[in-house]
Amino acid sequence: MPWTEAERDQFFKRLTVLAEMMGEPMTATRLTAYAAALEKTPFGAVVIGLEKAAEECRYFPKPVEVRDLGICSREWAHAKALDAELTAQRYLPEPMTTEQRLENIDRLRRLIQTVLPRRVMR
């Protein structure tokens, strides 16, 4: 999914700060190249990758390293799992109450009694 303009601006700022922190020169061309290399990676994973790079890398990371640090992180896996759970909650029906379950059991019993002969029920 392509990034929004705001996400792209935020990426430029975060990458520039990381470069400054690591003593790496940053040009507009380099910023654009990094953005182009990472544009197919979800923005949330890239943010996590940049944060991890600041904490763990000794040298300024290449785009593939930023992507891998983000996609392979526990934080990203947790975010994806939470998103999947929220999506499921939106589409799954509400759980049944005990009363609803008992009503369904009674309906099923009545249905079985009407369909099957009496002697089979004994």
pTM over 0.85: no
| Cα pseudo-dihedral 31, 36, 37, 38, rounded to 10 | 90
Handedness of CA 11, 24, 20, 28 (dihedral sign): negative
Is residue 37 within 8 A of residue 2, CB to CB? The reply is: no
Q: How far apart are CA 43 and CA 2, in angstroms?
A: 9
Provide Rg for the chain, Cα atoms.
Answer: 27
How long a stretch of residues is the chain? 122
What contacts 11, CB < 8 A, 6 or more positions away?
3, 34, 35, 38, 43, 46, 47, 50
Q: How confident is the model at residue 120, as a pLDDT?
A: 56
> Which secondary-structure segment (H or E) carries 10?
helix 5-21
pLDDT (0 to 100) of residue 95: 82
What pLDDT, on the 0 to 100 scale, is given for residue 59? 94
- Look at residue 119 in the predicted model and tell me its pLDDT: 56
- pLDDT averages per 10-residue partition of the chain, 122 residues: 91 97 95 95 94 94 95 87 84 84 90 71 52
Chain centroid to Cα 63, Å, comes to 20
